[in-house]
C-alpha cells in the first residue's frame, strides 16, 4: 500500500529552527509537495521537490532523498504565525497526490 | 484575481438526504479535485476531473458523484447522506498534474450529517 508518515505534533520556540520529517512509500514518485494549513483554513502551497537536494525559499527550506524515501521541511526564525499544520504529499505514478495526516506545529513565545 | 470558491461553507443535513456542494474556480484550470479531510487522516481524494465531461473516481468515491459540464464548476453530490460522510470537504484545481504544478484549494465546506 501507499503510506506517508509524519509526526502528529511538534512544539518549538519563537525565533528557533524546526525540522518536520516526512517518510513515504508510494507506487512511483513524481515529486513531493509541502503545504501549510492554518486551523479552519485551506491548505496553501509551500514547496515542491522532484530531485534530490535542498530547495530554499526564504525562511523555509525543503529537502528530498528519493533513495531513502525521505523529505524534511526546515523552518527558520520561527514566528507565531507559523503555528499551523504542515502537510506532506507525494505524487505517485498515476499523478495522484497521496497525503500525510499532517504535523501540527505549536510555536511558544 | 483568480480564485476558487465553495458553497455553502457550513451545512447540516439529515441521514438519507441528497446534498450538493458547489465548487467554482476562475483560474481556467482543466484539472479539478474533491477531497475530504478528517482528523487523523490525510486529505483523501473523492473524485477528480481533467476537463469538461471527464470524471474519475478517487480513493473514497462510494456514495459520491460529480459532473463537469463546464471548465469552472465541479459540484459534488452525496446521493444519500450518511453519518460517516460528516467531514470537511475541499475542492482544488491545478493547471497541470505534471511538472510540479500546485493545487489551489477552496476554503472548504464543513458538512455535518445527523
pLDDT in tens, A76-105: 999 999 999 999 999 999 889 999 999 999
Instruction: Identify whether the C-beta of residue B96 lies closer than 8 Å to the C-beta of residue B104.
Output: no
Picking from A19, A20, A47, the residue whose alpha carbon sits closest to that of residue A32 is A47
User: What pLDDT score was predicted for residue B85?
Assistant: 98
State the smallest CA–CA distance between residue A37 and chain B in angstroms: 11
Beta bridge partners of A107: A12
B41: cell is: 487522516
How far apart are the C-alpha atoms of A24 and A66, rounded to whole Å? 9
- A42, A48, A99 member nearest B42 (Cβ): A99
Contacts of B106 in chain A (CB under 8 A): 42
Query: Which positions of chain A have pLDDT values less than 70?
Result: none
Coil vs helix vs strand at A77: coil
Distance from CA of A106 to the nearest CA of B (A): 17
Closest chain A residue to B32, measured at CA: A96
CA dist B114 and B100 (Å) reads 40
Tell me, what's the pLDDT at B74? Answer: 98
The C-alpha atoms of residue B91 and residue B6 are separated, in whole angstroms, by 7
Residue carrying the nine cell digits 484549494? B105
Chain A: closest CA distance from residue B78 (Å): 21
Mean predicted lDDT score pLDDT of chain B: 96
Give the count of Cβ contacts less than 8 A between chain A and B.
44
- Contact criterion met (CB below 8 Å) for A100 and A94: no
Pairing relation of β-strands B31-37 and B87-94? antiparallel
User: pLDDT above 70 covers what percent of chain A?
Assistant: 100
Amino acid at each position: 500500500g501507499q503510506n506517508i508518515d509524519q509526526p502528529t505534533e511538534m512544539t518549538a520556540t519563537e525565533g528557533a529552527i524546526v525540522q518536520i520529517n516526512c517518510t513515504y512509500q508510494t507506487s512511483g514518485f513524481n515529486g513531493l509537495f509541502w503545504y501549510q494549513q492554518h486551523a479552519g483554513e485551506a491548505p496553501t502551497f509551500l514547496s515542491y521537490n522532484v530531485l534530490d537536494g535542498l530547495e530554499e525559499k526564504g525562511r523555509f527550506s525543503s529537502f528530498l532523498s528519493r533513495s531513502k524515501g525521505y523529505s524534511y521541511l526546515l523552518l527558520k526564525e520561527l514566528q507565531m504565525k507559523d503555528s499551523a499544520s504542515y502537510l506532506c504529499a507525494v505524487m505517485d505514478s498515476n499523478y495522484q497526490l497521496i497525503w500525510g495526516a499532517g504535523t501540527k506545529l505549536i510555536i511558544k513565545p | 484575481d483568480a480564485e476558487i470558491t465553495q458553497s455553502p461553507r457550513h451545512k447540516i443535513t439529515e441521514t438519507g438526504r441528497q446534498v450538493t456542494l458547489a465548487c467554482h474556480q476562475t483560474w481556467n484550470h482543466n484539472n479539478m479535485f474533491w477531497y475530504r479531510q478528517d482528523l487523523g487522516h490525510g486529505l483523501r481524494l473523492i473524485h477528480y476531473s481533467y476537463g469538461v465531461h471527464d470524471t474519475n473516481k478517487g480513493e473514497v468515491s462510494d456514495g459520491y458523484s460529480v459532473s463537469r459540464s463546464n471548465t469552472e464548476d465541479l459540484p459534488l453530490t452525496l446521493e444519500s447522506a450518511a453519518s460517516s460522510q460528516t467531514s470537511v470537504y475541499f475542492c482544488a484545481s491545478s493547471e497541470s498534474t505534471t511538472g510540479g504544478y500546485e493545487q489551489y484549494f477552496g476554503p472548504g465546506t464543513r458538512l455535518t450529517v445527523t
